[in-house]
Amino acid sequence: MAGAGALGAAGLHFDELNKLRVVDPEVAQQTAELRDECQAFVDKIAEFKKTVGNFMELVDQQAKAAESEKIKAIGARNLLKSITKQREAQQQQLQALIAEKTTQLERYRVEYEALCKTEVDQNEFIDQFIFQK
């Protein structure tokens, strides 16, 4: 195979199928391996990109859900404050009504005592009038 050395010097080589090639078979094999590794790397990068995209979508959904819950919580807190203020206003109204009714009860008590005294006085007057006849 002295001719093979001359061909190799000229940049021509025989592959495993004894076909004439311009590139050394070892270099061609390394190139093919590199191409396959690059394709595998590109595939992994694409898969990683897809995974990151899914993760970002999930994070966005969680952020929207958290924002929605935050708004609900703020609404509930505001409603609670409003209810508390309404209860305080109702309590003040009821206390004012109790004070008014207490005053009215006292007036009625004084009036009742006055009427009882008047009744006693009138009964005494009637009794005296009847005995005088």
User: Taken in order 58, 61, 67, 72, is the CA torsion positive or negative?
Assistant: negative
CB 29 within 8 A of CB 37: no
Q: What is the pLDDT of residue 2?
A: 40
Report the percentage of the chain scoring pLDDT > 90: 72
Q: What is the pLDDT of residue 5?
A: 59
- In the predicted model, what is the mean pLDDT of residues 116-127? 95
Q: What is the pLDDT of residue 4?
A: 53
Q: What is the pLDDT of residue 47?
A: 97
pTM of structure? 0.48
Q: 83-104, pLDDT tens digit by residue?
A: 999 999 999 999 999 999 999 9
For the ranges 11-20, 83-92, 120-129, the lowest mean pLDDT is seen at 11-20
**62 has pLDDT over 50:** yes
Which residues lie across from 20 on neighbouring strands? 14
